[in-house]
């Protein structure tokens, strides 16, 4: 089974653990095999570590690591109107 990966230039979404109405948009600026440079809602770019979930889907914690951190999944791609 092929791993679903984050792709540079694409945008993804993740919801807050505490408030389902709070949704962050994350843009992948660039990536290596184990890290990605991301931008969240126009903030400064930051580097995050990429993990592979048991179901062969890449994940990361875009806001850093803390007890209620949202986990971004490579399957949550934002599709443009043209797609």
Question: What phi-psi label fits residue 40: left (phi over 0), alpha (psi between -120 and 50 degrees) or beta?
Answer: beta
Please answer whether residues 76 and 12 qualify as being in contact, where contact means their C-beta atoms are separated by less than 8 angstroms: yes
Tell me the average pLDDT of the chain.
91
The domain spans of the chain are: 11-73
Closest C-alpha to 27, from 38, 36, 35, 16: 38
Whole-angstrom Cα distance, residue 55 to residue 1?
Answer: 9
pTM: 0.88
Strand partners, 36: 31, 48
- 3-28 pLDDT, tens per residue? 899 999 999 999 998 898 999 999 99
Whole-angstrom Cα distance, residue 36 to residue 56?
Answer: 17
């Amino acid at each position: 089974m092929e791993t679903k990966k984050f792709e540079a230039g694409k945008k993804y979404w993740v919801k807050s653990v505490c408030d389902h109405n709070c949704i962050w948009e994350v843009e992948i600026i660039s990536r290596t095999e184990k890290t990605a440079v991301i931008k969240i809602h126009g903030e400064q770019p930051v580097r995050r570590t990429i993990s592979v979930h048991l179901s062969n889907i890449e994940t990361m914690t875009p806001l850093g690591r803390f007890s209620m951190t949202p986990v971004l999944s490579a399957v949550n791609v934002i599709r443009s109107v043209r797609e």
